[in-house]
Structure 1
Amino acid sequence: MKKIVVFAMFLMATISFAQNKNAKASLEVDGVCMMCKDRIEKACIKTKGVKSANWNVETHELKLIYNEEKTTLDDIKKNIVAVGHDLKDMKATDEAYNSVHDCCRYRDDDVKKDHE
């Protein structure tokens, strides 16, 4: 019995120390303009545990710093697609995409050309 208790305590300590309070991630997020940048970054920052979110308009790279004890990368991704932006492995619903401003319609080739 004593061995089980010691093992359980060891396991709990390992799990709690395994999470990173300053985890870094980089994601590719579709968008075309500064309005998209605002929307993407706000969706991330509103996620509990996200400390920093910076999306680059030209490269479409989103750099994140977040606390793994408070959120997961999947939760952050879900919040991004919920505001209408696609990721490599997750697509926004048509309803969410259609909610973005007309100049932010990154799936439309004409809109992409206008932002070049």
Structure 2
Amino acid sequence: MKSIKKLLMVVTLLLSVISANAQIKNKTTETVKINGNCGMCKKTIETAANIEKTAKVTWDPTSQTAVVIYDKKKTTLDAILKRIAHAGYDNEKFTALDSVYNNLHGCCQYDREKSVLKKSK
């Protein structure tokens, strides 16, 4: 039993060191509005936006805002928001294509606002 505990401690330590090395460099942090409704939206938005060592997005369904942390030497906020729009979610800079929005699960189809934003292509 003691050897299992030691092994778990070593594995935990190694994982913490690895994750510390995987942090984003040249960090810029911004908060943006992204439309959505639920936990499934959260997963889709974050999956579309997150790139290891380059971009990390954490979206809050209650406030419909996301904290975007990214490496400003590797990507831009516009590129991240465009990927999110390509996944079907309107945001403060880009509007998702109707065809992509219409393919979202029913619970993920948020009320869309009329917008003059750029269509994501």
What TM-score do the two structures reach when normalised by structure 2? 0.67
Residue identity matched to 2:103: S
CA separation in 1, counterparts of 2:53 and 2:100? 21
Answering whether residue 108 of structure 2 is matched by residue 101 of structure 1, we say: no
Q: Residues 2-52 of structure 1: CA distance to partner in whole angstroms, max 9, x if unpaired?
A: xxxxxxxxxxxxxxxxxx7110011100000000000011111148710x2
CA separation in 1, counterparts of 2:81 and 2:65? 13
Specify the alignment match of 1:86 in structure 2. 90
> Identity, % of aligned pairs?
34
**RMSD across aligned positions (CA):** 1.7
* Distance change (3 Å), C-alpha of 1:101 and 1:53: same
SS in 2 for 1:100: coil
Q: Residues 62-112 of structure 1: CA distance to partner in whole angstroms, max 9, x if unpaired?
A: 00111011101110011000000001232101011012111111027xxxx
Q: Which residues of structure 1 form unaligned runs of 5+?
A: 1-19, 109-116
User: As a proportion of its length, which structure holds more strand?
Assistant: 2
CA separation in 1, counterparts of 2:108 and 2:89? 10
Specify the alignment match of 2:81 in structure 1. 77
SS in 1 for 2:81: helix
Residue pairs, 1:1-116, within 5 angstroms: 21-46=26-51, 49-50=54-55, 52-107=56-111
* Distance change (3 Å), C-alpha of 1:69 and 1:91: same
What is the aligned residue count?
A: 88
User: As a proportion of its length, which structure holds more helix?
Assistant: 1
Q: Is the 8 A contact 1:32 1:104 kept in 2?
A: yes
Q: Which residues of structure 2 form unaligned runs of 5+?
A: 1-24, 113-121
